[in-house]
Structure 1
Amino acid sequence: MEFGVNFFPVVDPVKKSASTYYEESLQLVELAEALDFEHVQTVEHYGSPYGGYSPDPVVFLTAAAARTSRIRLVTGAVIASFAHPVQLAARLALLDNLCHGRLDVGFGRGFLPDEFELFNVPMEESRTRFTEVVEACVALWSGQEVRFEGEVHRFGPVTGYPRPYQRPHPPVFVASATSAASCALAGERGHHLQVVPSVTSQEQLTQMTAAYRAARQAAGHEGPGRIQIKYTCYLGEDRAEVLADAAACERNYVEQMAAAVASWAGARSEQYPGYEQFADKARSYDFDTALAANKVLAGTPDDVRGQVATIRDWYGDDICLSLQFNPGPLPYERAERAMELFARHVAPAFTGDVAAVAAA
């Protein structure tokens, strides 16, 4: 079992400036490498406090690359629907060279109607755009004089430059919210998987990961594939203080998410069945219920260790948990302490790697 660090800024500028958030996050990147976490990753969103401090994962991860030498850097994820594949493939290949092959590329479709409107991209094209961008990027990284003829994107012949550091290309992850079929397709094509338990049930996520593994094996791909599952983690010695922090930060997250998904109340798309219920789900969120269901990790090291053990039993011991330690306006010192406690007192129960570095 592996553990990484995830940055999803749900931050109101009134509570924390962008420059402060970036500097604190990059300090945590350095700490993550020192504690031997497997990766750091960040998202892509626009136009609101819900992720809006991270409009370009490549820029943030380039800064992270300059401060580190070993830890893997993950886009989690770049939104394929808003990008031209020639430009995106080149920017990601540039980052792969700057970090000497430490890049993992996660691609996502996007799901917020307001963001599609900002880019003047029809939501009904999102699946097509996603599929084409992933296929085209892999082709540009791997081939010469590439000609691409899709429904949306057509180009070539062109050879992608720069060539990526990793050959034939960086590992590709596919982000999936609720669809077992999407997970199975990722497995069939030999990609890796990124999922978020907060937007689905434990039973549904079990079906998604099982579908991924079965499809990957049936297609004959080498190895089991890598599955990243993203959680927010609040950790400290004082349970009451930690749970108070967690409840406040989760309330901030839900308020900002509810505003970001509000447009789903009047939007419908066959590309996103059931997403019109997102606004109601966000408004009905209850922290205690989420904690009991292990959708968020919070408490003392003993508490969180027990939660991770349950998650391992649910989804397997070959997963990687991507943990957010600095959500919203949480003070930096508490995020830093949570990472240290996790490395010293939680991770060692599941892998010896983090413990060895922390003990040193």
Structure 2
Amino acid sequence: MSGALLQHGLFIAPYHDVDESPTIALRRDLEIVEHVEKLGFAEAWFGEHHSTGWETIDSPELMIAAAAERTSRIRLGTGVVSMPYHNPLMVANRILQLDHMTMGRVMFGMGPGLLPTDAEMIGVDIKSLRDKLTEVAEIIVPLLSGEEVSHVTSWYTLNKARTHLRPYTLPHPEIVVASAVTPSGGMLAGRHGFGMLCVAATETAGFDVLDENWKVAQEVAAEHGKRMDAASLRLVVPMHIAPTREQARAEVAQGLAKWVQYFDRVAPAGMRGMSGAGDPAELLVNSGRAVIGTPADAITMIERLQAKQGQFGVILFQSHNWAEWEETKKSYELYARFVMPHFSGSNRNRQDSYAALESNIDRLEAERTKGAEAAFKAWEEKTGRKAE
């Protein structure tokens, strides 16, 4: 990739088996952010969900506040706030508070809401979710910029509304919008100059339209005097990495089977069909939907996405808890040790230096031998004694 250096982050929906302790699961979500910061990851995103039992983070803002106190460098995002469920002033207040609490490390991701069971519980028409997000997008920038906003819709009213705080990050924290398969995310991002968070980048339907949705965003942006920045384009990839493919598959066998059963129930219709269709690991890998293998397999996946999309800013490693805890942490470590340097080029000089050694060692060794022989000869000429 040319241009800005590819960054690496974590996308924490999260996915937690309903048989496990939710307390431990939430603590581990925070611990894993600490872990990946030490490994050099640049970002971590927390989702918002209110039903199904698996995706147990109801407030990404609470997770960001806790993670911020455990870390010092990694940026922390809402991935994403389901805006049709909230008054936008309340959301803007929380984001700006976090902007100050994190001293500029917060990122604001917003979307229409993924789980239909969330919307049904609070009486929000599922068909209206995208339209509601579009309405919010019109006023979220002035709100986050500390401006006064009056705005009346069918589901909220703002009457000379303004946040308590002005932003710590000027002009406001980074804003991204969720994008899956339809062009609606790209259209919204382009209209307002938001970044894009492609949550279905490796799903077959999502991958097929990846570059097209980016083109839509660029075209709409140009129509509105905006410019899309590829550095703010993020692609989510499910991965589990081990030293060998066989070990990776063995480590995820039990957890992946349970996750597939869950995902087939909540995913949009075009992303289902894994349950009962054979070995889920083989299905995911062969369809290009996930990496369950080695660091080299992860590199191949990212290069495949680059070939399809072109330049983008961040790969987000999807946190899924398919494997046991220590194996999961090891997966992130292997990614940091072998995948991240491949794309940063941080080993290029070392590798060139080693290649030069391989190419020249015989010639240099011959010269070194000649030098040693000359030293022995000089000693013999000076002392008349043969060196032993």
Q: Could you say whether these structures have the same fold, taking a TM-score greater than 0.5 normalized by the shorter chain as the test? A: yes
Q: What per-residue deviation string (whole Å, max 9, x for no partner) do you get for residues 280-332 of structure 1? A: 5454765423212322122111222222222222212333111024x235222
SS in 2 for 1:342: helix
Q: 1:69 to 1:247 in 2, by over 3 A?
A: same
Q: Paired residue for 1:310, among 304, 329, 346?
A: 304
Q: Paired residue for 1:209, among 203, 214, 217?
A: 214
How much has 1:85 moved relative to structure 2?
Answer: 0.9
Letter in 1 for 2:283: T
Report the TM-score, using the length of structure 2 for normalisation. 0.80
Mapping of residues 1-360 of structure 1, within 5 Å: 1-14=6-19, 16-51=20-55, 53-195=56-198, 196-199=200-203, 200-222=205-227, 224-225=229-230, 226-260=232-266, 275=268, 277=269, 281=273, 283=275, 286-325=280-319, 327-328=320-321, 330-352=323-345
Aligned equivalents of 1:354, 1:166: Cα separation in 2: 34
Q: Is the 8 A contact 1:217 1:224 kept in 2?
A: no
Q: What per-residue deviation string (whole Å, max 9, x for no partner) do you get for residues 215-262 of structure 1? A: 33454434624111111110111321211334443322221123346x
Corresponding residue for residue 268 of structure 1: none
Aligned equivalents of 2:332, 2:229: Cα separation in 1: 28
How much has 1:192 moved relative to structure 2?
Answer: 0.5
How much has 1:138 moved relative to structure 2?
Answer: 2.0
How much has 1:278 moved relative to structure 2?
Answer: 5.1
Higher mean displacement: 219-228 or 232-241: 219-228
Runs of at least 4 residues off by over 6 Å: 353-356
SS in 1 for 2:216: helix
How much has 1:81 moved relative to structure 2?
Answer: 1.2
Aligned equivalents of 1:72, 1:318: Cα separation in 2: 17
Aligned equivalents of 1:284, 1:149: Cα separation in 2: 48
Aligned equivalents of 1:82, 1:38: Cα separation in 2: 29
SS in 2 for 1:294: coil
Higher Rg of the two aligned structures? 2
Higher mean displacement: 54-63 or 309-318: 309-318
Q: 1:218 to 1:244 in 2, by over 3 A?
A: farther
Query: Which structure ranks higher in relative contact order (CA pairs < 8 Å, sequence separation ≥ 6)?
Result: 1
Higher mean displacement: 31-40 or 347-356: 347-356
CA RMSD of aligned residues (A): 2.4
SS in 1 for 2:155: coil
SS in 2 for 1:330: coil
Q: How many corresponding residue pairs?
A: 339
- List runs of 5+ in structure 2 lacking aligned partners: 1-5, 350-388
SS in 1 for 2:235: strand
SS in 1 for 2:95: helix
SS in 2 for 1:110: coil
Q: Is the 8 A contact 1:81 1:130 kept in 2?
A: yes
- List runs of 5+ in structure 1 lacking aligned partners: 262-274
Identity of matched residues, %:
25
Higher mean displacement: 168-177 or 194-203: 194-203
Q: Is the 8 A contact 1:128 1:151 kept in 2?
A: no
How much has 1:62 moved relative to structure 2?
Answer: 0.8
Q: Is the 8 A contact 2:11 2:317 kept in 1?
A: yes
Aligned equivalents of 1:282, 1:301: Cα separation in 2: 25
Q: 1:95 to 1:284 in 2, by over 3 A?
A: farther
Q: 1:214 to 1:348 in 2, by over 3 A?
A: farther
